[in-house]
Structure 1
Amino acid sequence: MGKIIVAMYLTLDGVMEEPSWTAPYWDDEIAKFQLDLLFSSDALLLGRVTYEGFAAAWPSAEDEEGFAERINKLPKYVVSTSLKRTEWNARLITSNVAQEVAKLKKTGQRLLVYGSAELIETLLRHDLIDELHLMTFPLVLGEGKRLFKENADQKMFNLQNVRSTDSGVLIASYAPDK
C-alpha cells in the first residue's frame, strides 16, 4: 500500500498561503528535509492553485541539489474541477477525489502533497493521510489562509518526530491515530 505524505509550511498563527515569508528562515536543515521528502516520493498530488504556481516556476528553475530536476521529472496528479487540461507531466483528477486517491495509494506509490489546503481537508475527511509534516516558522502574520478551517473534522495524530532548526523552525512529523 502506498502513502499520502503532506508537507506544509505554517506560521505560528496557522497561515499557510504564499510562503515567501519562509526565506529569512531557510537553512540547510530545511533544505535537506525537503530534498529527502521529494526524493523518497514517487509522485506529487497537488490542488489547482499549487499546481499552477509550481508549473509556472519549476520548469525553468535550476539548483545544485537536484530539487528542480526531480520535481520536474516526477509525475503529478492535479485535483481540480476547473482545469480542462494539464501539462508538466501531470494528470488531472476532476471528480471522486477520495476514490481516485485511494486507487493511487493501492498502486504502492508515495504521493507527496504540497500546499493545497482544500485537498488536504478532503484527504483528512476520508482518512487518506499517512504522514503529516508541519514546518512551523517563528512568525505571526495575523491574516491569510489557514491550513484548517474552523469547521474541520476532528482527527487525532501521534507525534513521530520533532526537531528545531538553527533558524528556529520546528519540523514536526505526525502519523494519524487510527
Structure 2
Amino acid sequence: MGKIAASIYLSFDGVMEEPGLWHMPYWDDEMADFQREVFYPSDALLLGRITYEGFAAAWPKIKGEGADEMNAMPKYVVTTKLEEPEWNATFIKNNIIEEVTKLKQGTDRQYLIYGSGQLIRTLMDHNLIDEYHFMVHPVVLGKGKRFFMDQNQTNLKLLRAKTTTKGVLLLTYQASE
C-alpha cells in the first residue's frame, strides 16, 4: 500500500498561508536536512491547484540540489479549473477521495504533499494521510489561512521532534487510529 506524507510550514498560531513571506528568516541547514529526509524518499507529488501553479512557475527555472528531481517527479494535481497538464502532471478532476485511494492501492509509492491546505484537510478527514511533517515557526502572524479548520478528529502519534537553533519545531507524526 502506498503512503501519503504531508509537509507543512506553520506559524506558531497555525497559519500556513504565504509561508514565503515569513518563513525564510528561519531557514537553515537543520530545516534543509529535514526537508531532504521528507523529499528524497518520495516518488511523486500530490498537490492542490494553487500550490501546483506556484511550483510549476518557479521550479523549472531553479538550478541546484533537488531541482532535477523535483522537475522530473510525477505530479498528481487536484483541480477542476486547469485543462492542460504541464510539468509532468496528471490532473485529478473528479472523485478526489476515490482517485487518491486508487493511487495508494497496489503500490508502494510515497506521495508527498507540499502546502495544499484544502487538499490535506480533505484527505485528513478520510484518513488518507499517513504521515505529517510540520515545521512550526516561532512567529505569531495573527491572521491568514489556518491549517486546522473544522476537521474531523485525527489522532496522531509523535515519531520525532527536534528544535532548530533558530527555534523552529520540526515534528513528524504518524496518523494513528
Please give the TM-score of this superposition, normalised by the length of structure 1. 0.96
Corresponding residue for residue 5 of structure 1: 5
Corresponding residue for residue 26 of structure 2: 25
CA contact (8 A) 1:4 1:113 kept: yes
* Structure 2: runs of 5+ lacking an equivalent: none
Counterparts of 1:29 and 1:60, CA distance in 2: 25
Tell me the amino acid that sits aligned with residue 43 of structure 2: D
Measured after TM superposition, the shift of residue 11 of structure 1 is 0.2
The answer to whether structure 1 residue 112 and structure 2 residue 101 are counterparts is no
CA contact (8 A) 1:45 1:112 kept: yes
Counterparts of 1:32 and 1:74, CA distance in 2: 20
The answer to whether structure 1 residue 51 and structure 2 residue 52 are counterparts is yes
Please give the secondary structure, in 2, of the residue aligned with 1:129: coil
Please give the secondary structure, in 2, of the residue aligned with 1:119: helix
Please give the secondary structure, in 1, of the residue aligned with 2:58: helix
Corresponding residue for residue 35 of structure 1: 36
Measured after TM superposition, the shift of residue 36 of structure 1 is 2.0
Counterparts of 2:129 and 2:24, CA distance in 1: 27
Corresponding residue for residue 82 of structure 2: 83
Tell me the amino acid that sits aligned with residue 108 of structure 2: G
Q: Give the share of equivalent positions with the same residue, in percent.
A: 53
What do residues 66-111 of structure 1 show as CA deviations (whole Å, max 9, x unaligned)? 2111111100000011111220000000011111111111122100
Counterparts of 1:71 and 1:125, CA distance in 2: 28
Counterparts of 1:148 and 1:37, CA distance in 2: 21
Please give the secondary structure, in 1, of the residue aligned with 2:147: coil
CA contact (8 A) 1:3 1:110 kept: yes
Measured after TM superposition, the shift of residue 154 of structure 1 is 1.2
Measured after TM superposition, the shift of residue 176 of structure 1 is 1.2
Tell me the amino acid that sits aligned with residue 112 of structure 2: L
CA contact (8 A) 1:38 1:70 kept: no
Measured after TM superposition, the shift of residue 44 of structure 1 is 0.3
Alignment RMSD (CA, Å): 0.9
Counterparts of 2:85 and 2:163, CA distance in 1: 37
Please give the secondary structure, in 2, of the residue aligned with 1:112: strand
What do residues 110-156 of structure 1 show as CA deviations (whole Å, max 9, x unaligned)? 0000001110111111110100111000001111111121x221111
Please give the secondary structure, in 2, of the residue aligned with 1:8: strand
* Structure 1: runs of 5+ lacking an equivalent: none
Corresponding residue for residue 72 of structure 2: 73
Q: Deviating runs (4+, > 6 A) in structure 1?
A: none
Please give the secondary structure, in 2, of the residue aligned with 1:53: helix
